[in-house]
Structure 1
Amino acid sequence: MRKFVWITLLAVTSLPGASWKQLFNGKDTSGWQMTGPGEFTVEDGMLKTNGGMGLLYYTGKPFANTTLKVVFKTTGERSNSGVFIRLPEKPRDPWYGVHNGYEVQIDSGGDEWHRTGAIYSLSKAGGDWKQNPAGEWNTMEIQLQGKKTVVFLNGKKVNEFVEGQAVPERKAWYEPVRGPRPDVGYIGLQNHDAKSQVYFKEVSVKE
Structure 2
Amino acid sequence: MESLRGVWLGKPGRAHVERPGHAGAGQSQVSGKGHRYGSCRREDPAAIRGSGGVFSQGRYRLPPELFTHLPPSAPGESGFTPLISEGGKGWAQCGPGQFTVDGGVATGHGGMGLWWYTNQSFTNFVLRGEWKQEQELADSGIFVRFPHPGKDPWVAVKQGHEMEIGDPAPQKPEEMTGSIYPFNPPAEAPVRPVGQWNDYELVAMGHNYSVRINGKVVNTWTDPKRRSASGHIGIQNYNDGKTVRHRKVRIKALPAGAPL
Task: Give, in whole Å, the separation in 1 of the partners of 2:237 and 2:199.
Answer: 18
Instruction: Name the structure 1 match of 2:127.
Output: 68
Alpha-carbon distance in 1 for matches of 2:139, 2:101: 18
Report the counterpart of residue 43 of structure 1 in structure 2. 102
In structure 1, stretches of 5+ residues that fail to align are: 1-16, 165-178
The answer to whether the 8 Å contact 1:88/1:181 transfers is: no
1:113 paired residue among 153, 174, 199: 174
RMSD: 1.6
Match of 2:252 in 1: 206
Separation (CA, whole Å) in 2 of partners of 1:37 and 1:100:
19
| SS of equivalent to 1:113 | helix
TM-aligned CA deviation for residue 194 of structure 1: 4.5
Task: Confirm whether residue 144 of structure 1 aligns to residue 204 of structure 2.
Answer: yes
Alignment map for 1:8-157 (pairs within 5 Å)? 18-25=78-85, 27-109=86-168, 110=170, 111-127=172-188, 129-157=189-217
Which one scores higher on RCO, CA 8 angstroms, separation ≥ 6? 1
Q: After superposition, give the CA deviation of every residue in 1:69-121 in whole Å (9 maximum; x if it has no partner).
A: 12110011210000001103344311111111111100134343112110112
Q: Is the 8 A contact 2:138 2:243 kept in 1?
A: yes
The residue type equivalent to 1:104 in the other structure is M
Partner SS, residue 55 of structure 1:
strand
Counterpart in 1 of 2:48?
Answer: none
TM-score (norm 2): 0.64
User: 1:145-176, CA deviations, whole angstroms, 9 ceiling, x for partnerless residues?
Assistant: 11101110000001111020xxxxxxxxxxxx
Aligned residues: 175
What TM-score results when the alignment is normalised by the length of structure 1? 0.79
C-alpha contact 1:112 1:126 (8 A) present in aligned 2: no
Q: Is the 8 A contact 1:36 1:55 kept in 2?
A: yes
Q: Is the 8 A contact 2:139 2:240 kept in 1?
A: no
Query: CA–CA distance in 2 between the matches of 1:126 and 1:77?
Result: 20
Q: 1:157 to 1:205 in 2, by over 3 A?
A: same
Letter in 2 for 1:116: T
Greater displacement, 74-83 / 111-120: 111-120
C-alpha contact 1:90 1:186 (8 A) present in aligned 2: no
Counterpart contact for 2:104–2:248, Cα < 8 Å: no
% identity of equivalent residues: 34
Q: SS state of the match for residue 204, structure 1? A: strand
